Structure 1
Amino acid sequence: MSVHDFTVKTPKEEEKALADYKGQVMLIVNTATKCGLAPQFDGLEALHKEYKEEGLAVVGFPSNDFLNQEPVENEAMEETCKVNFGVTFPLFAKVKVNGPDAHPLYKYLKKEEGGMFGSSIKWNFTKFLVDQEGNVVSRYGPKTEPKDMEDDIRRLLKKDE
């Protein structure tokens, strides 16, 4: 089993197979536009622009699991991210990341890389780095700035050889 075995929905509720990302490094992050950590959208977008041609896919999964910080519907959220934060990396439909109704992808991510809080996601902007074969290789806490993951991303992209 790997991340590539999952299917997710776009903001327009269309099915998207994560197998489409085979051969790419993925940075999976749960996002929220009303979160105090939302300025991280800038850093995530910078990574996306810097490394997308090298094989990095930054993918966002909005979640309203924490203090109603992603209250808008999917298409409005996608537009907010584009207009307010300049996001061009893919955002998917809102998901639950914790609890019994957590999206199967997030259940898998948490099983593969637990965190300081066991199998739960602590907050918005928890990040998972996934290799080209769909294996979860690292988990980063919400306060980890995107630029602080760059060395790990470069290693997976084989940019430091």
Structure 2
Amino acid sequence: MALSFSTNALANEATSPKTVANTEQQCPAILKHTVRKLHSSEQVDLCQAYQGKTLLIVNTASNCGYTPQFKALEALYQEYKDDGLVILGFPSDNFFQEEDEEKDTAEVCFVNYGVTFPMFATTVVRGDDAHPIFKELEEKTAAPYWNFYKYLVSNDGQSVQRFSSKIEPQSDELVTAIKQQL
């Protein structure tokens, strides 16, 4: 009977307001946002979905010389997702290389490149109007200078490493950094 009581007590504690508040406090600032999925009305609470995961945040574009990196990003995701890596793609038109319509961006990502990692609505990634996620990344490193900048965020959100567009997703440099974080 005591075991049953302990289990119930733990279940009640997990949903208590105090525990929810502690979880929110533990969530890194970079994840304290809700964002809309690409070409969808579905909203994703980033803390709830990705807290405790190692993240590779990428600002993407559909019509860029680096767009073929989608294929390598997907391969990287497939290789390391079971180890705790999540790639988060944020299409951006900051460099004037994104489709005007989200349905067209979605086609490039999901149909042309077979992306299965989370992709979100077109996002401003630099300047005064930058999304708070990218403001946080800029504060910790620097704003992206071009499309397909990659930000490796530790599972506690405290460490951020920035990789330029020229760094291929499956380069030794990036893969080594990912393995160190996992």
Same-fold call, TM > 0.5? yes
Which residue of 2 is the match for residue 91 of structure 1? 119
Q: Retained in 1: the 8 A contact 2:61–2:98?
A: yes
Q: In the TM superposition, what whole-angstrom CA distance separates every residue of 1:33-71 from its partner, at most 9, and x where no partner exists?
A: 1000111111101110001111110110000111x2112
Q: Which has the higher contact order (CA 8 A, sep 6+)?
A: 1
SS in 2 for 1:109: helix
Q: Specify which structure has the higher proportion of helix.
A: 2
Give structure 2 stretches of 5+ with no counterpart: 1-27
Give structure 1 stretches of 5+ with no counterpart: 115-119
Counterpart mapping for 1:11-160 below 5 A: 11=38, 12-19=40-47, 20-66=49-95, 68-114=96-142, 120-148=143-171, 149-157=174-182
Q: Comparing 73-82 with 85-94, which one deviates more in the overlay? A: 73-82
Q: Which has the larger radius of gyration?
A: 2
RMSD between aligned residues = 1.4
Which residue of 1 is the match for residue 19 of structure 2? none
CA distance in 2 between counterparts of 1:35 and 1:135 reads 31
Q: Retained in 2: the 8 A contact 1:128–1:136?
A: no
SS in 1 for 2:170: helix
% same residue:
44
- Tell me the TM-score normalised to structure 1 length: 0.88
Residue 5 of structure 1: CA displacement? 1.6
Residue 15 of structure 1: CA displacement? 2.3
Which residue of 2 is the match for residue 5 of structure 1? 32
